[in-house]
Structure 1
Amino acid sequence: MKVSLTTTTTWWLLLSLSCYQLACYANQIDNLNRLINSKKSRNPQRTEPWTDQSKVRNVMSPVDIGPQEGMMEADKIKTLPGQPEGVDFDQYAGYLTVDPKAGRALFYYFVESPQSSSSKPLVLWLNGGPGCSSLGYGAMEELGPFRVNSDGKTLYRNEYAWNNVANVLFLETPAGVGFSYSNTSSDYSNLGDNNTAEDSYTFLVNWFERFPQYKNRDFFITGESYAGHYVPQLAYTILSKNTSKTIINLKGIAIGNAWIDDNLCTKGMFDFFWTHALNSDETNAAINKYCDFATGQLSTSCDQYQTQGVREYGQIDLYNVYAPLCKSSAPPPPTAGVIREYDPCSDKYVNSYLNLAEVQAALHAKHTNWTTCGDLRWTDSPSTVLPTIQQLIASGIRVWIYSGDTDGRVPVTSSRYSINALNLPVETAWYPWYTDGEVGGYVLGYKGVVFTTVRGAGHMVPTNQPQRALIMISSFLEGNLPPSS
């Protein structure tokens, strides 16, 4: 018997409401749960590989390349309101049109490295959702050069920003996310994996025209969560469309706490609940008895016990199960300095900052009511991207999958199940890696994929463990495994 829409909706409401009441990452949970549960209610589910769905469209569709002369200089940011003194790198922001006829444009924020930017690689960062902002999360809360103070008006320096080791590009994709927009309203109701990959590719081709000095640079794509779809799909699109005219020098991908396979990720989530004392033995036994994760055909009893499992873990931040909650009704005064302890209320500060008129003007953004995640109608999402990852492995590019080990929504167990499904031989046995004399995580090297954990990090790895995240991504960019001592 198929899961009913009513019980499925109940499960999603429990997940999203528990987080909303606690002021944690409600929008990310809302968007991912809404998508997964809408897919459960479809009959039949889409199971064909994404590469088969998109082959003709991705390879044959033309790319609009607009005039870019003078646009790089126009996009240069003079200064961000409230930024600290001593900023020693260039930053840019603006729009690139990906469909002139529809008036569809994507917004980006780009920061160069303070040291030797001309020789460092280019890294693209994508947040997931689907429909969540790489500017709000990635740039302002995770790996960007600044964090927002609790006053919502000033910034402080992130000493572990990834632009220490690369030039980093943050893209708000698709249209309807953050400052990205379309003048054609139907674009907002026809979103999915295919057109996100296409628009992101068109963006990149035009961006390289605007920043021609990066055309031959080593290029890497990174991201987290539903970017487990975005990143490999964009990489596949690039490799499929690379020609002598539009070649992009893609070297590798790295995805964190990645939603890769619907069934394996869901199984991994409930196994994580039980192994981390968030569910009872009885609920865990019932989920394993009634839920057929191999086929995705979930019975009413399965859904009933999954709903009970969500109810049992209580009022916690599912994206970092050991983190404190945001309880303050009013933020404390700002404090000076560099990166500080994890602040569970930081998304509030970012929302306030990016809605300041002077900030939007400095970013060259259209005046809008900026939100962290868009309420998007997602129409195209395969149940798995494992076939796409297999094709990337076969292409020879670098593939890393990393996981913060305290994330309960797309946990380390989900990553392990997804990688195990690839049936890859092990080349480097499991070992602990280190930062400052402490274990930073664990790594296992397969033929074609490196799997690494980041100890003490939740869903947003660079937020919870910024130093360990920087060591990890530095190793990835250098083509080395994380340090064993």
Structure 2
Amino acid sequence: MQWILELAVGAFLAGITLGGPVSPSTTNRRYLEGQDGVKYNVFEHRATNSKLSFVKNSGICETTPGVNQYSGFFEARENPRQAPLVAYFEGGPGDAAEYGLFTQNGPCHFVNNESSPSLNPYSFNNYANMLYVDQPIGAGFSYGNATVNSTTAAAPIVWNLLQAFYDSFPEYENRDFGIFTESYGGHYGPEFASYILEQNAAISRGDLHAKEIRLVALGVSNGWFDATIQEKANIEYVYNNSYRRLINETFYKELLTRYDIKCKPALDRCAEVGTTEACYAAWQSYMNEIDYPIIGVLNEEYPGFYLGDIRDPSLRAPTTHVAYLQRLDVQEALGAKVNFTEQSGAAGFILSGDDARSFVSQLSSVVQAGVRVLIWTGDADYVSNWLGTLGVADSIEWPGREKFANQDVRPYTLNGVQKGTFKSLDNLTFMRIFEAGHNVPFYRKFSFIRLGLD
């Protein structure tokens, strides 16, 4: 089976062909390859039987003097030789990583409806070497003929990609490594991190010969972790939030009854048996009984309503990058082999029941392992609102669970101004960010990367 997963950072095609044809050699190989006028650096990785190809310093996005970029990868602007390595995964499911890159935390962004990007002074690569990954296949610049329709199926592919990356760039092997993600990343982040820890354990036992990944941090913004907790929180949020009450008391009570009678039993069944049929049925239950009815009421009361920011539908990240990345000249500079696709594969994840499955267990194992975990949420977001993510944080199984859950939140201030609230115990931190919607860094230009990786 052959397919290609691009390491995408602004198109920054770095293709890794897992199981694809490589030279008949027992060692890794490096060489330059010209194709359609594009010069690729190619690395054949024997351990995963894969090929990694990338363009160096395309001139797209990161133009800071002296800062190198490779397809899908940006060096840190500050002290790249010692800075940690961070992999970023967009949510969705099926959203391209370029969305987060261009609208939130990447080296460049679009300002005032400009058609070309300019440098982002708040980029995460100020302090970390950033690797943006397009997945599943079909999202962004990724392409291939395999099907990935669940979070657990994606995890080993991501791990293989990281193995090839480390062998291609061995100077990053012993760096602190972190995962940052958002939205559906409440599935991706815990599962990918948990899988890495499992592989590390196998390496330590001598059961697996591979590169240990020094995972130290996991950050999830407005994450979708657990439908059982978060669907009930959705009902609470639209009735009682700090901005405006969106439904009346009668509808609120009706939704709670629907949750108790129809949704909760279906979600319990999904958790108990874990089959595609049971979990897809659970997804249908909460969408039909809770989310679709809420959306219908809100669209009727507030035309153009945006679930990602209940204050104003115009307060959302632009998608200017989509047209930019579909330009032929941009794709030629990046060495892209397919056209850019903003989202792909969402239907497969839904139909497999993946959306309804809880990843709190995996999240718990990550916290138990001592990895620093940051769960932060913009409080104007309905989609994965702060009431739900707080409920998830309080439910994590670890020695500090009771103390953390009973801890009051405290003001979070920046330059003397309160920007939110937070609570923190040992390696777990929860933050509520005021006046921010679903894509927090778009609203608040904080370099939270340091919270997890200092």
- Given the two structures, how large is their TM-score scaled by the length of structure 2? 0.75
1:152, 1:352 within 8 Å by CA — same for their partners in 2? Answer: no
How far residue 197 of structure 1 moved from its aligned partner, in angstroms, is: 0.6
Larger RCO, structure (CA 8 Å, separation 6 or more): 1
Distance change (3 Å), C-alpha of 1:72 and 1:174: same
Instruction: Determine whether 1:402 maps to 2:376.
Output: yes
Alpha-carbon distance in structure 2 between the residues aligned to 1:301 and 1:474: 37
How far residue 300 of structure 1 moved from its aligned partner, in angstroms, is: 8.1
Alpha-carbon distance in structure 2 between the residues aligned to 1:258 and 1:208: 28
Alpha-carbon distance in structure 1 between the residues aligned to 2:55 and 2:187: 31
Alpha-carbon distance in structure 2 between the residues aligned to 1:389 and 1:282: 36
Could you tell me which residue of structure 2 aligns to residue 363 of structure 1? 334
Secondary structure, aligned partner of 2:139 = coil
Alpha-carbon distance in structure 1 between the residues aligned to 2:149 and 2:291: 28
Alpha-carbon distance in structure 1 between the residues aligned to 2:163 and 2:287: 46
1:262 alignment partner, one of 227, 248, 257: 227
How far residue 274 of structure 1 moved from its aligned partner, in angstroms, is: 0.9
Could you tell me which residue of structure 1 aligns to residue 138 of structure 2? 176
Alpha-carbon distance in structure 1 between the residues aligned to 2:452 and 2:286: 43
Could you tell me which residue of structure 1 aligns to residue 305 of structure 2? 316
1:113, 1:166 within 8 Å by CA — same for their partners in 2? Answer: yes
What amino acid is aligned across from residue 389 of structure 1 in structure 2? L
Q: Deviations over 1:82-138 (max 9, x none)?
A: x58654411111xxxxxxxxxxxxxxx211112211111111111111100112x11
Alpha-carbon distance in structure 2 between the residues aligned to 1:140 and 1:146: 6
2:135, 2:142 within 8 Å by CA — same for their partners in 1? Answer: yes
What amino acid is aligned across from residue 157 of structure 2 in structure 1? D
What amino acid is aligned across from residue 125 of structure 1 in structure 2? Y
Instruction: Determine whether 1:281 maps to 2:246.
Output: no
Could you tell me which residue of structure 1 aligns to residue 434 of structure 2? 455
How far residue 165 of structure 1 moved from its aligned partner, in angstroms, is: 1.4
Alpha-carbon distance in structure 2 between the residues aligned to 1:289 and 1:197: 37
Could you tell me which residue of structure 2 aligns to residue 28 of structure 1? none
Alpha-carbon distance in structure 1 between the residues aligned to 2:364 and 2:427: 9
How far residue 77 of structure 1 moved from its aligned partner, in angstroms, is: 3.6
Instruction: Determine whether 1:69 maps to 2:30.
Output: yes
1:152, 1:353 within 8 Å by CA — same for their partners in 2? Answer: no
Secondary structure, aligned partner of 1:425 = helix
Could you tell me which residue of structure 2 aligns to residue 211 of structure 1? 169
How far residue 256 of structure 1 moved from its aligned partner, in angstroms, is: 1.0
Alpha-carbon distance in structure 2 between the residues aligned to 1:304 and 1:417: 21
Note the residue ranges of structure 1 that are not aligned, 5 or more in a row: 1-60, 94-108, 326-341, 479-485
1:155 alignment partner, one of 117, 125, 128: 117
Alpha-carbon distance in structure 2 between the residues aligned to 1:76 and 1:449: 38
Instruction: Determine whether 1:425 maps to 2:402.
Output: yes
Alpha-carbon distance in structure 2 between the residues aligned to 1:66 and 1:162: 35
Alpha-carbon distance in structure 1 between the residues aligned to 2:67 and 2:226: 39
Secondary structure, aligned partner of 2:213 = coil
Distance change (3 Å), C-alpha of 1:304 and 1:199: closer
What amino acid is aligned across from residue 430 of structure 1 in structure 2? V
Note the residue ranges of structure 2 that are not aligned, 5 or more in a row: 1-18, 32-40, 44-52, 204-208, 268-281
1:233 alignment partner, one of 186, 191, 196: 191
Alpha-carbon distance in structure 1 between the residues aligned to 2:322 and 2:108: 14
Distance change (3 Å), C-alpha of 1:79 and 1:272: same
Distance change (3 Å), C-alpha of 1:301 and 1:150: closer
Number of residue pairs the alignment of both structures matches? 373
Alpha-carbon distance in structure 1 between the residues aligned to 2:222 and 2:123: 19
Could you tell me which residue of structure 1 aligns to residue 67 of structure 2? 89
* Worse overlay, 433-442 or 406-415: 433-442
1:66, 1:206 within 8 Å by CA — same for their partners in 2? Answer: no
C-alpha RMSD of the superposition: 2.8
Alpha-carbon distance in structure 1 between the residues aligned to 2:58 and 2:336: 14
Secondary structure, aligned partner of 2:252 = helix
Alpha-carbon distance in structure 1 between the residues aligned to 2:215 and 2:325: 31
How far residue 429 of structure 1 moved from its aligned partner, in angstroms, is: 4.4
How far residue 420 of structure 1 moved from its aligned partner, in angstroms, is: 2.4
How far residue 306 of structure 1 moved from its aligned partner, in angstroms, is: 5.0
Secondary structure, aligned partner of 2:194 = helix
Any residues of structure 2 matched to 1:302-341 within 5 Å, and which? Answer: 303-304=288-289, 307-314=292-299, 315-325=304-314
Alpha-carbon distance in structure 2 between the residues aligned to 1:372 and 1:66: 36
Distance change (3 Å), C-alpha of 1:384 and 1:77: same
Q: Deviations over 1:188-222 (max 9, x none)?
A: 3x521122111111111101111111000000011
How far residue 149 of structure 1 moved from its aligned partner, in angstroms, is: 4.6
Query: Share of identical aligned residues, percent?
Result: 23
Distance change (3 Å), C-alpha of 1:387 and 1:148: same
Secondary structure, aligned partner of 2:409 = strand
Alpha-carbon distance in structure 1 between the residues aligned to 2:297 and 2:236: 14
How far residue 68 of structure 1 moved from its aligned partner, in angstroms, is: 5.5
What amino acid is aligned across from residue 306 of structure 2 in structure 1? D
How far residue 166 of structure 1 moved from its aligned partner, in angstroms, is: 0.9
How far residue 67 of structure 1 moved from its aligned partner, in angstroms, is: 3.5
Could you tell me which residue of structure 2 aligns to residue 6 of structure 1? none
1:147, 1:156 within 8 Å by CA — same for their partners in 2? Answer: yes
Secondary structure, aligned partner of 1:457 = coil
Alpha-carbon distance in structure 2 between the residues aligned to 1:432 and 1:301: 34
Alpha-carbon distance in structure 1 between the residues aligned to 2:381 and 2:285: 27
Alpha-carbon distance in structure 2 between the residues aligned to 1:221 and 1:408: 24
Q: Deviations over 1:283-332 (max 9, x none)?
A: 1011112322543468989945654322222232111222442xxxxxxx
1:132, 1:372 within 8 Å by CA — same for their partners in 2? Answer: yes
Instruction: Determine whether 1:119 maps to 2:82.
Output: yes
Distance change (3 Å), C-alpha of 1:139 and 1:302: closer
Instruction: Determine whether 1:474 maps to 2:442.
Output: no
Could you tell me which residue of structure 2 aligns to residue 350 of structure 1? 321
Instruction: Determine whether 1:129 maps to 2:92.
Output: yes
2:128, 2:449 within 8 Å by CA — same for their partners in 1? Answer: no
What amino acid is aligned across from residue 309 of structure 1 in structure 2? I
